[in-house]
Structure 1
Amino acid sequence: MLFLLSPAKSLDYETPIDPSLASTEPAFIEQAHVLMQALKQQTPSQLAALMGISDKLATLNVERNHAWSPRFTPDNSRQAVMAFNGDVYEGLQAGTLDDVALDWAQHHLVILSGLYGALRPLDLLQPYRLEMGTRFPVGKAENLYQYWREPLSAYLLQRLQAQAAPVIVNLASNEYFKAVDTKRLKARVIECVFQDEKAGQYKIISFLAKRARGLMARFAIEQRIEHPDALLGFSSEGYRFDEQASTADQLVFKRKESDRV
């Protein structure tokens, strides 16, 4: 089984990490380099318009783009799972996983990325901002979906062939999962849906659902999950599997308002 996650916009390169932590290089450095060469042509005002971000953020990311190098070192990068710092990664809490758990994650977890295509947890990551949904034409590709669909799908197909069960558990957002050609993979795709009770009704609350995706990824890592049925036991932070609301390939987990911390 492969578990897919989205990246995070927020990055953390300040919190100390174990200097002996293993690291690997991303699979698509060449493709990322092509994208970054194009990004380096963008001025702060152009980048602000392209990404819909503030002038301050645009200036920061122009600086990041010009500092980016196809050579990854401990000085200019850190492991992806330690660098991403959004709601998903607050749920995952990768910094508290031991080496054995991280090694399992390395073989079962894939982080989709607008710049890097696909990242393993321990792949080195240089600071960047490029969301998959950005309408950024490069070469013959009109957007990042076209740019990544073939290499990303081929990569996931290869990774699936090394798994005991050819199953993808999608914990990524629609924005990122749209880059995957699921027909080419010919694999079972399981979606996990997380709903929280609010005013007596269950609904998807974005930041809580993102955190829950990270919690599910951590659950899978800690339990070394290799079969879809084991996902039903997920109960982190008060979530429970709802069989009646679920289908075979869409697993719904609900949490009562009283169980939310």
Structure 2
Amino acid sequence: MKILFSPSKTMKLKNINFSKNRTINFPDKTHSLVNSLKKLSKSEIEKLFKIKGQLLEETYNNIQNFDSLDSYEALSLYDGVTFRQLNLNSYSAKDLNYLNENLLIFSALYGVLSPNTEIKPYRLDMTINFLEESLYKFWNDKINDFLNAYIDEIFINLASKEFSKIIDKKKFKVINIEFRQKVDDKLKNISTEAKKARGMLLDFMTINNISDLESIKTFTKEGYQFSESDSNSDTLFFIRKIKL
């Protein structure tokens, strides 16, 4: 069983004691993207990335000085809503090993990462078009060829649609995880709540060393319950009641 996850735009360095680190899987592809990004002016970065002010300055400078930036383990850098649900400070060496062996993080700059893969600070979405082809086309063959090593595994998809659409679902066995919130007896898909839930489920799987679908169904944090009636062979639904 492998777990598919999305990166986050926001980054904040955290101290995690990994026993070993990994290098990036596709250095030539990443190098090519960085070189293309370096050719963009600050105003082009502002328009493409839809950012301004200090964030624009930081993003532009990181691109221009990318080669001299320090590298850190991916899980030490990502700091979005989903990642903040992970209780990293309480993880044992066994928990970190579970993540390193089972978690695959998609990245628009790096392709596929493990938690202990050393990366540099960056900001890039799959939807940002600065090449003659889309980033989906740029990465499609490389990522799916890489995943061939796990073709006999089940992929638990906790990635956002933006990133999970890169995987060839006709080729691999993918189980999608969906979270819904019941508000006044109506099911809703609230993006921020879904992001939190994906992180909470990954945390649950990590500390319980989950390796099978039936155990995933026992997830009940913050009122979520597995819904047999809404689920099917490709998708597991978890629902909780909330008040807005």
Q: TM-score, normalised by structure 2?
A: 0.92
Unpaired runs of at least 5, structure 1 = none
| Residues 18 and 116, structure 2, Cα contact 8 Å, conserved in 1 | no
SS in 2 for 1:87: coil
Partners in 2 of 1:257 and 1:112 — Cα distance? Answer: 31
- Aligned residue among 228, 231, 251 for 2:236: 251
Amino acid at match of 1:116: Y
Partners in 1 of 2:192 and 2:16 — Cα distance? Answer: 29
1:129-161 Cα distance to aligned partner (Å, 9 max, x none): 1101111216xxx11001100010111111x15
Counterpart for residue 31 of structure 1: 29
Partners in 2 of 1:170 and 1:5 — Cα distance? Answer: 7
- What aligned pairs does 1:69-108 form with structure 2 within 5 A after superposition? 69=67, 76-108=70-102
- Aligned residue among 81, 105, 111 for 2:105: 111
Q: 1:213 to 1:50 in 2, by over 3 A?
A: same
Counterpart for residue 44 of structure 2: 46
Partners in 1 of 2:225 and 2:153 — Cα distance? Answer: 25
Partners in 1 of 2:16 and 2:159 — Cα distance? Answer: 27
Counterpart for residue 179 of structure 2: 194
**1:48: how far off?**
1.1
Q: How many residues align?
A: 244
Partners in 2 of 1:239 and 1:55 — Cα distance? Answer: 39
| Residues 44 and 55, structure 1, Cα contact 8 Å, conserved in 2 | no
Counterpart for residue 63 of structure 1: 61
**1:20: how far off?**
6.2
| Residues 82 and 94, structure 1, Cα contact 8 Å, conserved in 2 | no
Amino acid at match of 2:5: L
Q: Which runs of 4+ in 1 moved over 3 A?
A: 18-22
Amino acid at match of 1:7: P
Amino acid at match of 1:111: I
**1:252: how far off?**
0.7
| Residues 216 and 234, structure 1, Cα contact 8 Å, conserved in 2 | yes
SS in 2 for 1:246: coil
| Residues 82 and 198, structure 2, Cα contact 8 Å, conserved in 1 | yes
Partners in 2 of 1:55 and 1:144 — Cα distance? Answer: 26
SS in 2 for 1:9: coil
User: Does 1:174 find its partner at 2:155?
Assistant: no
1:108-139 Cα distance to aligned partner (Å, 9 max, x none): 1001000011110111121101101111216x
**1:231: how far off?**
1.3
Give me the identity figure in percent.
Answer: 30
User: Does 1:218 find its partner at 2:203?
Assistant: yes
Unpaired runs of at least 5, structure 2 = none
